[in-house]
Every structure is written in structure tokens, then in C-alpha cells.
Chains A and B, each alone.
Chain A
Amino acid sequence: MSTFRKRFWANKTAVICSILLALLCLIAALAPVLAPHDPTEMFQNNRMEGSSDTFLLGTDQFGRDLLSRVIYGARVSLVVGISAVMVSVIFGTIFGLIAGYFGRWIDGFIMRVMDVLFAFPEILLALAIVAALGPGTFNTIMAIGIVNIPIFTRTVRGAVLSIKNLEFVESARAIGASTPRILFKEIFPNVTAPLLVQSSLAISGAILTESALSFLGLGIQPPDPSWGGMISEARRYMELAPGMIIWPCVAMTVTILSCNMFGDAVRDILDPRHRGK
């Protein structure tokens, strides 16, 4: 662990991106304090205004403060992104541990189910699930979570296959440790590294999918602010108030870029073969 810490602090990209991500999480958590206005409050006399002292990033077609909406949008995107990945991590880890450890028909069955889930383009499967469950925050989280389960199952299964016959697992078996103990106390701690890399990359994908669903009107529902929804609403007014599109795009790009670069950096730290490639 100390080697990881040393390498982490020596990797500028990892440090900068983790600071950026921590800042974004802080902004999202402190949204009610940091946002200058209520994100749904309409200032009818200030519709589609440019930047001013009262409205730093301007206002939208209903006179709502863009800065406040972008800040609250961060909250929505991060909550949905992180929650969806947690759903995927929990189920993917359980399925991956079981498939990798037990092998045989259990492995075959679980992996064939994952192959089926892999046979759908991500956004289309998420759309189909949302179409059935209906739009809304919880359903969006579930849809994105389900779609990402196969990636985590494969990651964990691969890691389990490579360690399940090592001596420390054999020893645990020899002293009569129960199967859940072997799975969660012996094997699981050894698969956290690939899980961490995969999670940081999956969060950016989850944020992208959430914003795409909201853009299509099937994710987070108005008046709750989400970056995808804001861009979708702004399309009609893009020539009159380009800021309505540009600011959510900038916020989304910074967040996803930070997640992607953080994921790449952590992968480089944990697996030096990837460095610079």
C-alpha cells in the first residue's frame, strides 16, 4: 500500500485529477450553500441574459440562474454516476466471485447471461430498461447500473481465476474457512485494484449515459437540473443564448475528463506495463 501511495503522489496526473474530482464532489455536496440562487427559481424579467453580477453565467429561457443549475447538475450527475457504478460493482463483484471461484456450470451460466447483456449497445439497453421502468432518478441509476454489471463481472472473474489456486487461498481452505469467508476475506481484497481502475473509468461512462438519457428526456426529469437535460432544452435557443449550451458542456467535459484521466493514471500506477501507452 505504501508503494501505491508513493507512486500515486509521484504521478502528477493522478494527483491533479483527484484534486479536481474532490473539488467537484465538494461543489456537489455544498450545492445549496454555493449556488447563488435556487436552481428552479424563475426570474421572469431576466430571461436569456448574458453574464452579469447577479447571474455570473447568465440565465436560461425561464430566467433561471445558469450557474446554480450547473452546480446542482454536478450533484445529479455525480450522484447518479457513483450510485449506478456502486450497483454495478456490488452485483458484478458477487457474480464475478461466484463465477470465478466455483467454475463449471455456475461459471458457464453466469458468463452466458453476461454475454447476453454484452450483446446490446449500452445506451440502447439503458433506453429499453428506462422505457419499461419509466424515467426518473432511481430508474436511471438502476438502468445504468444493470448495463455495467457485465464489465465488473468479467473483471472480477478474471482476477479470481488468476488467484484462486494460490497458496494463501489453499491455506484458508485447509484450515476449514467457510466459502463466504474465502470469497470475501481472502480473495476479494486481492481483486480491489482492477475494480478501482474499472470503477473510475465506469463513473465517467455512467455520467455520459445519464446525460444522454436526460438529453433524450428519459433520465432526470425537469425541473431538476441535469447537464444533459439542460443541453437538450438549450438547443432551441442556442443562437440567442449560446451560454445555455456551452456551460453545461464545459462542466460535463471537465468531470468526465477528470474521471477518465484519473482512471488511466491509477491503471498506470497499478500496472506499469500500461505507462505511456
Chain B
Amino acid sequence: MGAYLFKRLVSLIPILFGISVLVFTILHLVPGDPASIMLGTNATEESIAALRKSMGLDEPLITQYLTWVGGLLQGDFGVSVHSGEEILPQIIKRFGITLQLTVFAVVIGWLVAIPFGIISAIRAHSKTDIAVRVATLLGISVPNFAIGTLLLLVTSLYFNWFPPIDVVSFWENPLEAFKVFVLPAATMGIVVAAGVMRMTRSAFLETMDKDFIRTARAKGNSKWTVVMGHAFRNSSIPIVTIAGMQIGYLLGGSVIVEQLFSIPGLGQYVLEAIYQRDYPVVQGGVLFVALVFVLVNLLIDLIYTWIDPRIKY
């Protein structure tokens, strides 16, 4: 396991290098001079020249890249052109909010998806199964911003209720945080539930056909024991895979939901930076999310060995 972890960490190096090159290149795809674009049409020649110098845009591309990566390795993500603030502390602060939203969404999604996915598989082709499959298809097909907007419409029209604007952490005030996050988390949770439910049903259908399940039934075990004691763990790998992928996507994809519900998370930070053409923040935010995404995928691979000890690396 230790050797595998080491090998995986080493294999991450070229990926991380590629990510840094791609993120760096994206800024340099900007047509024209990034400094004058960032400062807008009213900027003076002097201010443009000063920004160009402070960002090192006069230097050759390779020097700019090495300086940027050197800074990243020392925890220096640079400074926001718009606010003048250090980028990394802002990213960490905003990421905390996004993480709370993501965890809440995943909890909602899994609580709905796993039981219904199992029921759907056990009662395959029944009315319940058809209802679950229709719900799953709808969940996959309706965009999350449409779900969120419709949820807002329903709660405001029929319950005259809007989520509070001021964001508080679950650690500070759980009840208030619940009120803040419940609608955005439900919005994301519906999409999570659809994917996990589909995978749970599919994985259970496959497992329930296996010989060891027939043996477990033949021994006279109750349905509950067969499903939870024998089938569940053996069906978990694809479920964990899809769930892990979704956590990664949620961390980056929460940008839309955060914008819709005015949640000041990492997604909104990057989006505001895009609107303000604050490219160092865009670079830092995108890079951070990609790093988290890669680490989540690594974690999922490690969880496989815990779920199924037959997997040896």
C-alpha cells in the first residue's frame, strides 16, 4: 500500500506539471495585452506599464512561467489585480464555504440515492423501479441552475421564504447555516442523487445475479442480511467511483449554484474574477480546484482497497 501510494504520488508530478502549464497558457490565450485588458479602457499608459512590470508580463514566457510556479511552490499565488489582496488566503477562506456546501449536498444526495437505488434494483421492473428511473433521468437532464431557480420560485411563491443572505459556518451556528445552505445544497444534491441512484441500481442488479448471493439466500438469510451484509459492500466500488467523481465536480461546478444563491464560495470568487478580468485570481482558483480534484481522485483509489481487500496494488 505504501509503495502504491508513493507510485501514485510520483505519477501525479507530470499531471500537476501539465495542469500548471495549461492554467498558465490559458491566461496567455487572451487576445491582446492582458495588462490593458485587466485594467480596462480608462487605464493610463503608466498604470498599464506598471502592471505589466509587476506581473512580469515583459519577461519571456518561460521566465514568467518559472516565476509563477516558483511562487506557487512557496504558497504565493500572487495578488488580486482588482482588490490588491493576497490570493491564497482568499481561496482558502472561500474554499471552506464551498466545502461545507459540497458536503451538505453530498449528504442529501446519498441519503436519497442509495436507499432508492437499492430498492429500485431489488424490485426491478416494478412501479417503484420505473418511478426511480424516471426521477433519475430527470435529475440528470435538468440543469442545476434550472432546478435551483425553480426551487427558489416555489419557496418564494408558495412559502414566502428566501434563504438568508449572510453566510455562516456550520461550526458557528448550525441552524442558521442549515437555512443558508439548504436550497443550494438540495439543488446540487438532486443532481448528485440522480447519478448515484443510477449507479447504485446498476451495481446492485449486477451483484444480485452473482453466485454468492444465491448461496446467501439458500442458507436462509433474511432479505435484509443478503442485501446489506452481502450485496452492499460488493456493489460499493462503482458507487464510490461515481460519488468521488461527483465530489470533485461539485467542488468546481458549484460556481453556478453559488452564483445563483449568492454564496461567497470559491466558485463565485473565480466567477467574479472572470467578470472583472482579474486573471491572477482566475489562474489561482482554477489551479486550486484542479489540485483538489486530482487529490480527491487519489483518495477514491485508496478507498477501493478498504472496501475490497482483494484489490492489491
Within 8 A of B (CB), among A217-256: 217-218, 228, 231-232, 234-235, 238-239, 242, 245-246, 248-249, 252-253, 256
Q: Does A127 contact B (CB under 8 A)?
A: yes
Give the complex CA separation of A186 and B270 in angstroms. Answer: 46
Which residue of A121, A132, A242 is within 8 Å of B30 (Cβ)? A132
A204 and B141 in contact (CB under 8 A), knowing A121-B251, A128-B282?
Answer: yes
Given contacts A211-B143, A216-B255, A277-B202, contact A242 B18 (CB under 8 A): no
Q: Is the CB of A115 within 8 A of B15?
A: yes
Tell me if B220 is interfacial: C-beta within 8 Å of chain A.
no
Name the A residues within 8 Å of B165 (CB-CB): none
Q: Pick the residue among B29, B125, B152, B156 that contacts A132 (CB under 8 A).
A: B29
- Assess whether A121 is in contact with B249, with CB atoms less than 8 Å apart: yes
> Is the interface on chain B under 10, 10 to 19, 20 to 34, or 35 or more residues?
35 or more
Q: Name the residue among B21, B249, B251, B256 with the largest chain A CB count within 10 angstroms.
A: B256
A79 contacts the other chain (CB 8 A): no
Please choose the segment from B180-188, B228-236, B285-293 that sits at the chain A interface, where 4 or more of its residues have CB less than 8 A away: B285-293
Tally chain A residues at the interface, Cβ within 8 Å.
48
Chain B, Cβ-Cβ closest to A115 = B15
Kindly supply a per-residue 1/0 record for chain A positions 113-143, scoring 1 wherever the CB is within 8 Å of any chain B CB and 0 otherwise.
1011101111111011111111000000000
Point out the residue from A122, A133, A232, A245 that lies within 8 Å of B249, measured CB to CB: A122
The residue of chain B having its C-beta at the shortest distance from the C-beta of A121 within the complex is: B252
Q: Count A-B contacts at CB 8 Å.
A: 140
Q: Is the interface of B mostly helix, strand, loop or mixed?
A: helix
Report the bound CA distance from A121 to B23 in whole Å.
13
The docked-state distance in angstroms from the alpha carbon of A228 to that of B149 is 11
The reply to whether B157 and A123 form a contact with Cβ atoms under 8 Å apart is no
Is A261 in contact with chain B by the CB < 8 A criterion? yes
A123, A133, A218, A234 pick with most chain B CB within 10 angstroms: A123
CB < 8 Å neighbour of B149 from A112, A122, A212, A245 = A245
A123's contact among B15, B141, B253, B275, by CB below 8 Å, is which?
A: B253
Q: How far is the CA of A121 from the CA of B249 in the complex (A)?
A: 5
* A208 on interface, CB distance cutoff 8 Å: yes
Q: Which of A120-178 contact B (CB under 8 A)?
A: 120-125, 127-134
On chain A, the residues within 8 Å of B206 by CB distance are 277
> How far is it, in angstroms, between the C-alpha of A219 and the C-alpha of B286 when the chains are bound?
19
**Chain B neighbourhood of A218, CB < 8 A:** 274
Q: Could you tell me if B146 and A112 are in contact, using CB atoms closer than 8 angstroms?
A: no
CB-based contact B153/A239 at 8 Å: yes
Inter-chain CA distance A234–B255, complex, in Å, is 19
B137 vs chain A, min Cβ distance (A):
6
Q: Could you pull out 12 A-B pairs where Cβ atoms are within 8 angstroms?
A: A121-B248, A121-B251, A121-B252, A124-B252, A124-B289, A211-B143, A216-B255, A235-B152, A235-B260, A239-B153, A242-B153, A253-B146
User: A119-B293, A124-B286 given. 4 additional CB < 8 A pairs?
Assistant: A124-B270, A125-B286, A128-B286, A239-B153
